[in-house]
Amino acid sequence: MDSISERIIMPESISKHGVHWEGVDYLIFNTYIWWMKSSKMKVLRGSFDEATIEYDEIQWHIAYERVLRTWAKWVEKNVDPKSTFVFFRSMSPTHIKSLDWNNPNGIKCANETTPYLNMSTPLYVGTDHQLFLVESNVTQSMKVSLPPQHNHPLRVPKRCAHLNLHHSRRPISNTRADVRPG
């Protein structure tokens, strides 16, 4: 589970960690969970090394786009697509309320044991379309080809996909980590 309470980013900086990603066979970027805490993101002015940390608060989707554009430029400059396969993983649609799948007696997804059946309309609950628009704009503008990771028909939620709920030890479910694409 993600436990960072205060998030301050440097959206145009990737150099500190990027050196660890160079020359690998597979590069998987999976950051959406990091952005789910609030509607605003703190963007650092200056450096974390300064005595006083100053920041601006901006809408998270604007900060997310700045970060993704920095990431995309880094990938294009530092990744050889002939030797490194790059995956960009986005959020799976959520499944918070049982009413969303026509089960008024359900308790979220904890007691579900079957996938969605006979749904008459696509299930887009919890899908942040603004997020997908930002991701699409950035990833489609890249020179490096990425496999589609957020194509809605391929990423339908499965209310029964919590692997940690289907064995004898039943810890608290971590929906964001356990839900698998349809």
- Residue type, position 19, single letter: V
- Per DSSP, what are the bridge partners of residue 87? 28
Contact 131, 61 (CB under 8 A): yes
* Residue the block writes with tokens 């698998």: 180
Strand partners for 30:
89
Mean pLDDT of the chain: 72
Instruction: Say which residue, 163 or 180, is predicted with more confidence.
Output: 163
Asked if residue 95 lies in contact with residue 162, where contact means CB atoms within 8 angstroms, the answer is: no
Separation CA 59–CA 52 (nearest Å) = 23
Q: What residues pair up with 179 in beta bridges, in sequence order?
A: none
> What is the three-class DSSP state of 55?
strand
Q: What is the pLDDT of residue 29?
A: 83
pLDDT of residue 180: 40
Residues in the chain: 182
pLDDT one-digit tens code per residue, 17-63: 888 888 899 988 877 667 766 778 888 888 778 778 888 999 988 98
Q: Mean per-residue pLDDT for 64-70?
A: 91
